[in-house]
Chains A and B, each alone.
Chain A
Amino acid sequence: MGPRNGPQAPQALAVPRRSRGTSRPAQSIIGRVSTSGPPIRVTLGELYRGFFHAGARGVGGVLPWVRRMLVEERRWLTAAEFTDLFSLCNFLPGPNTVNLSIVVGARFHGVRGALTALAGMLTLPLAVVLLLAALYARFGALPGIDAVLRGIGAAAGGLVLATGVKMAAPFLRRPRALAVLLVTFAVIALLRWPLVPVLLALAPLSVLAAWFRRP
């Protein structure tokens, strides 16, 4: 935030990005960092294509691809906005990347945007999984599939880990948040405690700690 923005800066940040009313050309958005600049305009076609590509590449997990698409490639969201929306989706029921497509789509185009992003993410995967099932039914076995999946699993784990590490970077300077992050990781990944009780215990503590944090 440069001094040129003066005292109006916080208001500028609060302007919603979902603004189909503006006449800004859509192509000017791609490749630009979306910090406190003018509202971002994303067309329905772009939403569909963005989520189509994320879904199509999402072997072994869609989250890394959705984040890459939204934050690094198309820059529709900042890293912080992405983490906030994703954590909201994580605490709602349902597949969390599907929820993410709804939230991001709704942000830009309401109900139509939500349905467009959802359809974009599911089109190709649905076709592929049904094709695989048909092949399987016809030939009785998919030779080598276990071996290929074992290999992909090793790389996909690394991809998800890297995505988590990128998302964790802002917490390095906040000891309390970092502690919550590490405890979550330890009890889920190392101790393998069940998810729902862990969330029910940790979430209120963490939110309370954030509520009482001195500004």
Chain B
Amino acid sequence: MSPLVSIAIRFAVLSLVAVGGVTAVIPEVHRIVVDVHHWASDAEFTQMFVIARAAPGPNMLLVTLIGWHVAGLPGALVATAAMVAPSCTLTYFVSRVWQRFRAARWRVALEAGLAPIAVGLVIATGWIVARGAQDTGWVAYAVTAATAALVVFTRVTPLWPLIAAGALGLLEVV
């Protein structure tokens, strides 16, 4: 089977099981890419993970890089499309149904029940991302706390703390 077809099938399936986003299926992506298809070595996978995190945008860009690594630009486009098309199609139709039953009691209950879980997950994500940067001590905690306070209490754009923190990292302070 051509690698483009394998990429398309593998990522299209992952797209539909990635409840909780791409982060949740990264172990499975690793298994497929490194162990099953030998598309990349362990070290290459880690490099792609780091590059994907360095770029702005949704954290699904890892998949784009894997496609690029395997089959160049066509691979990158096929992998990206395969990762978003199935879940986006599903989301589109669910959102239409959702819109239609705007006033239904079951929808109100679903929203009221699911919202606190979703917000709990957002806070958990922030915690995990911040903790991932915390092995270097109090400066990192201070950066996290200062950024959070700035965003909650002011309307200053959060770009400044991100840039400042990147600079602190480069200077090996954080």
Contacts and interface: CB of A to CB of B under 8 A. Distances in A.
Contact of A149 (B15, B53, B103, B147): B53
Contact of B94 (A92, A95, A144, A154): A92
A83 interface: yes
Contact of B87 (A98, A111, A125, A133): A98
Contact of B133 (A103, A128, A154, A206): A154
Q: Which of B16, B21, B115 has the most CB of A within 10 A?
A: B115
Given A93-B18, A111-B92, A148-B166, A129 B148 contact: no
Q: Which of B99, B126, B147 has the most CB of A within 10 A?
A: B126
Interface size class of B (residues with CB under 8 A): 35 or more
A64 interface: yes
Contact of A92 (B57, B91, B99, B146): B91
Interface residues of A, number: 100
Contacts of B134: 154
Nearest to A122: B57
Given A126-B57, A132-B51, A93 B127 contact: no
B50 to A, nearest CB: 6
Interface in B104-156: 105-106, 108-134, 136, 140-141, 143-152, 155
Contacts of A210: 108-113
Contacts of B108: 210
A206 B111 CA distance: 10
B109 A90 contact: no
Contacts of B110: 207, 210
Contacts of A86: 118
Interface in A155-207: 155-168, 171, 177-178, 180-185, 188-189, 195-196, 199, 202-203, 206-207
B121 A152 contact: no
- 8 closest A-B pairs by beta carbon, nearest first, are A151-B169, A125-B57, A94-B87, A157-B130, A184-B120, A158-B147, A207-B113, A160-B126
